[in-house]
Every structure is written in C-alpha cells, then in structure tokens.
Amino acid sequence: MEYMKPFSFDLIAKDGAARAGVFHTPHGELLTPIFAPVGTQATVKAITPAQLEEMGASLVLSNAYHLYLRPGADKIAECGGLHKFMAWEKPILTDSGGFQIFSQTNQRKIDADGVDFRSHIDGSSHRFTPEKSIAVQESLGADIIMAFDECPNPHDRTYNEQALARTHAWAERCLHAKKRPDQALFGIVQGGIFPDLREQSAEFITSLGTPGVAIGGLSVGETKDQTYLILDHLNPILPEKRPRYLMGVGSPEDIVEAILRGVDIMDCVLPTRMARNHAAITLRGQLNLRNAIFAQDQRPIDSECTCYTCRKFTRAYLRHLIVAREMLAATLISIHNLHTLIALAKELRQAIIDNRVQSFAANFRSTYQKRRPPEL
Amino acid sequence: MEYMKPFSFDLIAKDGAARAGVFHTPHGELLTPIFAPVGTQATVKAITPAQLEEMGASLVLSNAYHLYLRPGADKIAECGGLHKFMAWEKPILTDSGGFQIFSQTNQRKIDADGVDFRSHIDGSSHRFTPEKSIAVQESLGADIIMAFDECPNPHDRTYNEQALARTHAWAERCLHAKKRPDQALFGIVQGGIFPDLREQSAEFITSLGTPGVAIGGLSVGETKDQTYLILDHLNPILPEKRPRYLMGVGSPEDIVEAILRGVDIMDCVLPTRMARNHAAITLRGQLNLRNAIFAQDQRPIDSECTCYTCRKFTRAYLRHLIVAREMLAATLISIHNLHTLIALAKELRQAIIDNRVQSFAANFRSTYQKRRPPEL
C-alpha cells in the first residue's frame, strides 16, 4: 500500500523527551503537540465548525462506531465524505470503533475474526471485523484512521495477553485491508498497565510501518502514575520519526505530563462533556459555574484566556445561563474549555521549541489544582 | 421628561402604506422595517451574539418579566446593564412584562394599581405596577422600553373595554415614572379585535407623545384576517413620524402583510422555537427536517439563502443532527430561520425604497405555502 506524500512527519525540536513537529495530511498540517476536540457524531457537541476555527482547532476526531450506526458510513460517503458532511475542511481522525464496541455495547461476542455486538441505540445486531472497520473508515474518509483493536481491562494480565494477540493480528489485517492512499492508518499499542506487554506491543506495532503509532487503553481505569510510567517506558521504544497519539487523554495535567513524555497528539471528550455539566477548565483548576458564588462575579472565567467566551462574557452571565437552563451555556463553556486545552498544547509546543518545557511544566504544576478556589 | 437626541425617526420612503425609515437609538440605527430576534432570558436561544451579528441582526428583544425573576434586574444593573451582561452592543428592546404576566403566570389578581402574580418558576408572589415595570426596565437599560399593559382575550368586548381603560391609565403612569433620558418608551395600542376600541386606543396612546407606538394583543388567538383588518384600520390613525412596532408577529406571511400595512418593527419567538422543533422557515414554506425524505438530500435548506447554515450544511446533515439529538441542530436551524426573517424585512425595505413593494408581495404570495413540499 502506497501512501500519498502528505503523510510525513517533521520533527523540528526536542526538549528532553518532549517533541515539537509537523504532521502533513491531505487536509493540512498538524503542528504537534496538538489537542484535538472530539466530534463523536460528526459534530463537536454544541459547537459550529466556524467556532472551532476561531478557537484554533486543526484536528477533529470522529467515530467509526457511532457514524456506522447513525447515519451510516455509506450515507456519509454519498454525501461526499465526512469532511464535507460536517463542513470541516481541516484534518479529521476517526477511531476504529474498537473502544466504543468494548465500552458502549451489550452482549459482545469476541472471536479471533471480529466482534458481534448490539447497537447501544436500538439493540440491533452488528459485526465488526478489522476489514469492516477499515471499510467504514474508508467510507468516512478521515485523514487519519485507526486500527481495529480490543480494549481490555488494563489490570487483567491474562486478558491483556489474549487481547494483545488479537489486537496485533487485527492491526495486520487492517493494514492489508486498507486501500485509500489518502488516509494514514495508525496502529495502536495496547498491553494495559504491564510494561513488558506494552513494550512487546510497541515493537510489533512499530514493525508494521504505519505512519503514526497510537497508545490506547490508558485513561480507562488505571491511575495517573501508571499512565505516566507506561509513557516513560514507551518513549525510547517508539520510533522517533512518527507521530505518537495518546488516545482519550485530555485533562490539563495529563496534557502537560503526556507531552513531557513524548506524546504528539491527544484527544478527549472531557472539555465538552464538562462544559455541559457547567464545569470550566482553567490552568489554575476547575470552576463549577453553577455555584452561587459566581452570581455577581464580573470576571471572565479566566482573565488570561483569549477565547470568545472570556473576551465577551462574565462568570455572572454564564451562571445565569446555567440556572435559566439556556443552551448557550454549553456552547460558551465548551468554547472556553476547548480553547484552553488547544492553547495549552500550543504553548507547550512553543516551550519545546524554546527549550524551556521543564520550567513551563514546573510553573504549571505549582499553580494548577484540580478544584480551583472560586475566589481565584 | 427629556429624551436624548438619538430617538428620532427619519421616514425615508413610502410605497402605499409601507414605510422605510431609520430609527436612531443610543446603540445605533435601526433600518426599518426590521425583524428582531427574541432573547427572552438575555440570550437568543442557542445563538451567540457573534452569530447574531453575522446574520445581520440589529435589534434584539428581551423581557422584563423573565429577567426580573431571574437573575433579577438589580443584578443585571450591577453587571453594567443588559447590553454588557449579554454582550450585545446594538439596540435592545425590553417588553414590560405585561404580556408575560397575563400569559405565563397563575393566580393573577388585577386591580387598578397593578397586578399580583406568582412566578412561573417557583410560585413565589410578586407585584408589578406601571412604576415597577419601568424601574425594572430602567435597571436593564434597553434602548426601547415598553409601557406596562393588560393583555385580555381579544374577542371579549367587555373585558377589552375595562382592560383598555387600565392600559391607558398605566401608560400615563409609565410615562411619569420614567427617568432615564437614554431610553425610548413606547406606548401600546390595545383593544382586541374591535376597530373602534383600537381607534380610541391609538388616539390616546399617540397623544402621550412617546417616540414610538406599539400594537399589542394581536397574534394571541385572533385570525390573520382580523389582524390585517386592525392594521389597515390603524394605519391612517397612527402618527406617520413615529415608528410602529407590531408585537410578537413573525411568520413570513405576517411580516410581509404587516409591513405592507405600515408596520416598522416586528419580533417573534417563532423562528427559534420552530428551529428547536426541527422546522426550517423558507420563503416557499416550512420544512420539517426530521422527515426521512431528507436523509440523503444534498441541498441546503434553501439554495437562495446566504446564511452560514445554508452556505455550509446540507439537509442530510441537519437531519442527522436532529436524529442524533445533537444540540448543533437547534443552533444551525435557528441561524437559518432568523436570517431568513431578518433578510425578508431587509428585502421589503429595499422594495419600498424602490417603489416595488406590491410586486414583491405578489411574488411572495404566489410562491409561499405554509407547508413546503419537500421536493422543492
């Protein structure tokens, strides 16, 4: 399988294990490290593509499992593909459906060839195989597509060993099934919390020669320290000249710690999900804007933030929208949360280029606390 | 009470009874005829002020009753007033609370002095008088404020006679209570479906000398023909040199017919409420975008519309968002619906200036049907 020229990765700076680079895709460059908003159902929830552009997003995730079920990958292909369907002209990455099938469906039956499952929407029966996942992702047409993998409980050694064998066999089948030259397939390193399994997986996945390597199965139940240990362990094993995508990670502290450990791409539903639950993310910690203390607070969420929400609206107004159950609350807080994480990755990128990422991280760690005191 | 200079109305063209003008306010000019989106709770539902700007909105309505209850008019005053609170720097009009108290509350008790009512939110007891309504609206700080009026069933002659006496007495008290020179108070003509009561009311309200005159109590149960008859009857009675605001009217056909009968300002919750119920407004009729017929429809809602939604998204995508219960559906359809009505009023304005409003209206009437066939 030939790749189009676009999928090259320029590593432009290193600062310790942290890396700054440029990944070229058919829909434009990704300046790494980068944080990607998630648009599960072909929309970042409550946000227009124009708002995504304004907040500086360049990569958006979407999801093969969800779009296969609704509206159907063939339907999206008939609409001209996912970029045109959702009106996002910059790069898109689709997940393979593996994680969703293992986390959102009932009555799963796994065999060597694939997985039978029932839709979380209507209980209808479906089957995904590596070939099916690739076919779905080729219909969708994202720039980056993911190998179909099995996502076991990260603490169960025996299950992880079995799942890893399947995930590796499936990754090879994905590579063989793949036909479109304008999509980059990323293999996924699994292995739970077990460094030796992770090492074995990293070596196998790397050997496939995919233009990027993903790290899956973290942020699904293990501790932060376990995640960081795995990242430290993987850093010297993963190929330097290919982008590394840590799947599903996205708190401010995780973004900082992952980038320090060599991660290039991250995504998470956290910023938009938290926004719908009235929580604002800042680099000094999280604020629950429903709190009555904000009723007369004339400050923006974060006085140092340059997002649309912080330039225009006060905490008092956002709290009013929440109490009055206005949809605009979710939109405005989502804009802020996404902007914060996108900007954080950009600042880390500049710090890497300037060779000051350790002091940036030290400064971040000294001011960040998970629950920000509301007087701040 | 002195008015600031801004509140002058330049009548720049007439075409039959239809009028084109400019109403000057402290937050900018209103080019009439104009359609105003409604932001009941200090937000146009699901829409940011930036999106309102992009769709060409210049006047936004809000509501004394709702904001008095939540978050409180005093709170908004402490936040610097409604313009700053909701980040809308162009003109705002607030309704007095009259209509809402008579349509949304329980256990109302009306006396000559005012109305006791219970909040629709928590059942708490409150009292509005003309003076209270003006105080609330002065705290909010809109450019145009409304007299406190009683809104009876339009078909009940006896009740309309009694209510009209109160509405007139209350309008005088509003005028005396009003202190801020940077707000224009509009009196409201009531009188139900009865031409003689309407005439009597128009003469009284006009005699108060307010910078604008509103027509209330229509679109609350009477037929369209009754509304148009009242507008025809009022047209020669209302002063030519003041703007005329028809309250709560906003279907495409009502906008056309009202403007033909001399109306300058209109507002309605219809375009945003319909959007949340998946209905798109077009000048050829209404489309219910949930309909399965749209699942593969690659056209925009309206191929002649220049709104963000129609420039970027297909009916197939909007239907997907609706079926997937994504909030973005309400946002995108609201953008389209509001843009359509705002643009319709602007087109009518140009047709008046060009002296071709009758042919514009004839063309509109020949193509508009309430339910648009989906194949169009």
A38 touches chain B (CB under 8 A): no
- pLDDT tens per residue across span A64-87: 999 999 999 999 999 999 999 999
Give residue B94's identity as a one-letter amino acid code.
T
When scoring A66, A273, A319, A320 by the number of chain B Cβ atoms within 10 A, the one with the most, hence best to mutate, is A320
Share of chain B above pLDDT 70, in %: 98
pLDDT of residue B103: 85
- B95 catalytic residue (yes or no): yes
The tally of CA atoms less than 13 A away on the side-chain side of residue B343 is 15
pLDDT of residue B375: 65
d(CA A244, CA A188): 10
Q: Per-residue confidence at B5, pLDDT binned at 50, 70, 90?
A: low
When scoring A317, A332, A335, A336 by the number of chain B Cβ atoms within 10 A, the one with the most, hence best to mutate, is A317
pLDDT of residue B156: 93
Strands B92-95 and B60-63 come out as parallel
Q: Return the DSSP state at B139.
A: H
CB contact under 8 A, B41 and A324: yes
A50 touches chain B (CB under 8 A): yes
- B149 catalytic residue (yes or no): no
Cis preceding-peptide flag for B33 (omega within 30 of 0): yes
CB contact under 8 A, A320 and B41: yes
B313 touches chain A (CB under 8 A): yes
Closest CA–CA distance from residue A33 to any residue of chain B (Å): 28
From chain A, the residues in CB contact with B43 under 8 A are 321, 326, 328
User: Does residue A54 contact residue A85 with C-beta atoms inside 8 Å?
Assistant: no
From chain A, the residues in CB contact with B295 under 8 A are 71, 75
When scoring A67, A79, A314 by the number of chain B Cβ atoms within 10 A, the one with the most, hence best to mutate, is A79
From chain A, the residues in CB contact with B332 under 8 A are 48
Lowest mean pLDDT: which of A124-133, A206-215, A361-370?
A361-370
Predicted-complex ipTM score: 0.96
- The active-site residue out of B95, B143, B149, B254 is B95
The catalytic residues of A are: 95, 267
List Cβ neighbours of B214 (8 Å cut-off, separation of 6 or more).
B146, B147, B186, B187, B188, B189, B244, B245, B246, B247
Q: How many CB pairs under 8 A join A and B?
A: 107
Which of helix, strand or coil describes residue A21? strand
| pLDDT mean over B294-319 | 97
Q: Retrieve residue A137's tokens.
A: 């992702």
Closest CA–CA distance from residue A136 to any residue of chain B (Å): 17
- With CA atoms as reference, the chain A residue closest to B77 would be A296
B298 touches chain A (CB under 8 A): yes
- pLDDT tens per residue across span A295-341: 999 999 999 999 999 999 999 999 999 999 999 999 999 999 999 99
User: Does residue A85 contact residue A42 with C-beta atoms inside 8 Å?
Assistant: yes
d(CA A302, CA A178): 45
pLDDT of residue A322: 98
| List of domains in chain B | 9-268 (3.20.20.105), 275-367 (no CATH)
Cα B98 to chain centroid, rounded: 14
From chain A, the residues in CB contact with B70 under 8 A are 320, 323-324
B positions 325-344 inside 8 Å of A (CB): 326-328, 330-332
- pLDDT tens per residue across span A100-112: 888 888 788 999 9
From chain B, the residues in CB contact with A71 under 8 A are 295, 316, 319-320, 323-324
Closest CA–CA distance from residue B231 to any residue of chain A (Å): 35
